[in-house]
Amino acid sequence: MSAPMFYVSPEQQVKDRAEFARAGIARGRSVIVQRYRDGILFVAENLSQSLHKVSEIYDRIGFAAVGRYNEFDNLRIAGIRHADIRGYAYDRRDVTGRMLANAYAQVLGTIFSAVAEKPYEVELAVAEVGPSPDQDQIFRLTFDGSIADERDFCVMGGAAEQISAALAETYTVASLPQALTTAVRALASDPGQDGPVGVEAIEAAVLDRDRRQTRKFARLSRAQLAAVLDPAPPGPTSPPARQPRRRAGTGTDQNGQHG
Amino acid sequence: MSTSLFLPPAGPPSALEMAAADTSSFTQFVARVQPSLLRAGGPANLTADALAPRATTIVALTTAEGVVMAGDRRATMGSMIAQRDIQKVYPADEFSAIGIAGSAGLAVDLVKLFRVELEHYEKIEGSPLTLDGKANRLATMIRGNLGLALQGFVVVPLFAGWDSQAGRGRIFSYDATGGCYEETGYSSVGSGSVFARGALKKLYRPDFSTAKAVSAVVQALFDAADDDSATGGPDLARRIFPVVIAVTAAGSCQIPEAEVAKVTDKVVASRQRRPDGPEAKL
């Protein structure tokens, strides 16, 4: 016996689906994408060293995501393929962040409005470092395919509002160490966070305009992060940075499902 | 085209689709979604190698710091010089370099595809291939060209890089059927390779610094150009010099042209005193 079908208005349907996606995203820890003097900085709160939230897409293009790992990793791989095939068929300079952001918006929008599908519980940022600072671009994409062009920074994830407010107060176009410090401090304004975010819980990468290679994306190693974030050698007297605690009611965050 | 590269938006992908999507190889992926982008293969009865220019001599040697690879700048079509300043040696990725001899058009395209192949794998998997993995991948790509090789469009690369696990530079040579052979010390491919190898045999020292190695490869290419008409010597009037790439633990970098020019000027000056090059001690 099949379940009886009821009429659901499109407004209600969209509302329900958006609520579902938002709830999924809110379970995850946050990511900041911001401009700094020499390019774009990605900072994510992430305990895993191998399940990345930040990734390289192309020469000048980086990707950051929050939400369900399997869903955004699919999108990440699709983006790499899209970019590589474009660059191979035409020229490397013909691959742009805007093109990629548009492709993502199409896919997310289609999935969101497909009734038979559950919406993706992800939020993405596509950033491109330009030849000069005024050509840097940060696009933010939400689960429903909406796309926004962000000026200086964007924050995604569970505590996006609080972190965004904290970052807005301190943000300036700064050098890399300063930008990194500001971003990590802003991440600690997550209400589920009791204390500063330790180096072991930070994943960071840059799109460095001045990098010698054509590929401008570079991950910052733990050692590089530690050199900036806790310059004093850790002694027995220094208070250890606490591990980020999961917020109440995050039952599904067992194996990095919601990053 | 754009959305076809993404997973189908409606319905969970079937096991078959999942398996089909499961590749980190750019070449395999392109062959699936846009095979027309890859070059045409397959045997035919015609031999048409006179249609395409040929690129010539590449040399590589290991140093105390890694490897150095260099190539002359000439492409020929029969007895004619097709191009004076062709580039035949490229960084393949951050820790390896590739040089090519043979049919120029196919060879340059092969390098382009190989570079995307390495980068694509690294981006999707989150870590680069091992040096052996890269060398093996290149062998498969050369084997794929066998049909065209039989018609005369032979492409033979030389591959070298820094092996981070072994902590040393390594060199791999190839044949047209995709055979991949690791070389110790030094190696060379292309029409002038016999003469270049002879020169390196006398000049090579395993403890060379990168700077010494640069001078050795310039000497070897000079000897190749001296005895092989298809290899270009340094063009002092037009200031065209060999392309030299050094790969060390710090990554691959092309030696600046000004530096190669300085070394070349020195070599040319010494050859005016002794045209056969430096004398080996008995």
Residue B79 maps to a domain: yes
Rounded to an integer, what distance in angstroms lies between the CA atom of residue B25 and that of residue B125?
10
In CATH, what number is assigned to the domain containing residue B250? 3.60.20.10
Cβ separation B26–A84 shorter than 8 A = yes
DSSP for B148-215 reads HHHTT--EEEEEEEEETTTTEEEEEEE-TT--EEEESSEEEESTTHHHHHHHHHHH--TT--HHHHHH
Cβ(B281)–Cβ(B247) under 8 Å? no
Residue B84 maps to a domain: yes
CA dihedral B239, B271, B278, B75 (to 10 degrees): 40
Residue B18 maps to a domain: no
Instruction: Collect all residues of chain A within an 8 Å Cβ-Cβ radius of residue B112.
Output: 88
Most B-contacting residue of A51, A80, A82 (CB-CB within 10 A), to test interface: A80
pLDDT tens for chain B, residues 1 to 282:
444 455 444 444 444 454 455 788 888 888 888 888 887 655 554 555 566 677 789 999 999 999 999 999 999 988 899 999 999 999 999 999 999 999 988 999 999 999 999 999 999 999 999 999 999 999 999 999 888 888 888 899 999 999 999 999 999 999 999 999 999 999 999 999 999 999 999 999 999 999 999 999 999 999 999 999 999 999 999 999 999 999 999 999 999 999 999 999 999 999 999 999 999 888
Cβ separation A107–B30 shorter than 8 A = no
Residue keyed to tokens 């020499």:
A38
Active site annotation includes B57: no
Residue B34 maps to a domain: no
Q: Please list, residue by residue across A223-234, b when 16 or more beta carbons sit within 10 angstroms of its beta carbon and e when fewer do.
A: ebbbebbeeeee
pLDDT tens for chain A, residues 1 to 259:
566 778 889 899 899 999 999 998 888 889 999 999 999 999 999 988 889 999 999 999 999 999 999 999 999 999 999 999 999 999 999 999 999 999 999 999 999 988 788 999 999 999 999 999 999 999 999 999 999 999 999 999 988 999 999 999 999 999 999 999 999 999 998 887 777 888 889 999 999 999 988 999 999 999 999 999 887 654 444 444 444 444 433 333 434 455 5
Q: List the single residue in B9, B30, B112 with the smallest CB-CB distance to A110.
A: B9
User: Which range of residues forms the domain containing residue B195?
Assistant: 51-273
The pTM assigned to this predicted structure is 0.84
Instruction: Collect all residues of chain B within an 8 Å Cβ-Cβ radius of residue A81.
Output: 5, 29, 120
Catalytic residue among B56, B76, B210, B264: B56
| CA gyration radius, chain B | 20
DSSP lists the bridge partners of residue A35 as A40
How is the beta sheet containing A31-36 ordered, strand by strand? A153-156, A31-36, A39-45, A202-208, A217-220
**Which chain B residue lies closest to A100 (C-alpha atoms)?**
B2
**Which chain B residue lies closest to A57 (C-alpha atoms)?**
B123
ipTM of the complex: 0.84
Q: How many CB pairs under 8 A join A and B?
A: 66
Q: List the single residue in A84, A106, A116 with the smallest CB-CB distance to B11.
A: A116
Q: Measure in Å the smallest separation between the Cα of A59 and chain B Cα atoms.
A: 10
Instruction: Collect all residues of chain A within an 8 Å Cβ-Cβ radius of residue B34.
Output: 85, 89
Cβ(B224)–Cβ(B72) under 8 Å? yes
Q: What is the pLDDT of residues B28-82, one digit of tens each?
A: 888 888 888 887 655 554 555 566 677 789 999 999 999 999 999 999 988 899 9
Residue B254 maps to a domain: yes
Of B263, B222, B213, the closest CA to residue B97 belongs to B213
Cβ separation A87–B116 shorter than 8 A = yes
Residue B279 maps to a domain: no
- Tokens representing A246? 């999961």
Long-range contacts, stretch A81-86, CB < 8 angstroms, 24+ apart? A81/B5, A81/B29, A81/B120, A82/B2, A82/B5, A82/B6, A83/A57, A83/A58, A84/A58, A84/B26, A84/B116, A84/B119, A84/B120, A84/B123, A85/B5, A85/B29, A85/B30, A85/B33, A85/B34, A85/B37
Most B-contacting residue of A48, A71, A88 (CB-CB within 10 A), to test interface: A88
Architecture of the domain made up of A29-229: 4-Layer Sandwich (3.60)
Q: Measure in Å the smallest separation between the Cα of A230 and chain B Cα atoms.
A: 26
**Domain-by-domain residue ranges, chain A?**
29-229
Instruction: Collect all residues of chain A within an 8 Å Cβ-Cβ radius of residue B29.
Output: 81, 85
Residue B35 maps to a domain: no
Cβ separation B112–A114 shorter than 8 A = no
Give the number of domains in chain B. Answer: 1
Q: List the single residue in A81, A102, A212 with the smallest CB-CB distance to B5.
A: A81
Q: List the single residue in B9, B29, B34 with the smallest CB-CB distance to A107.
A: B9
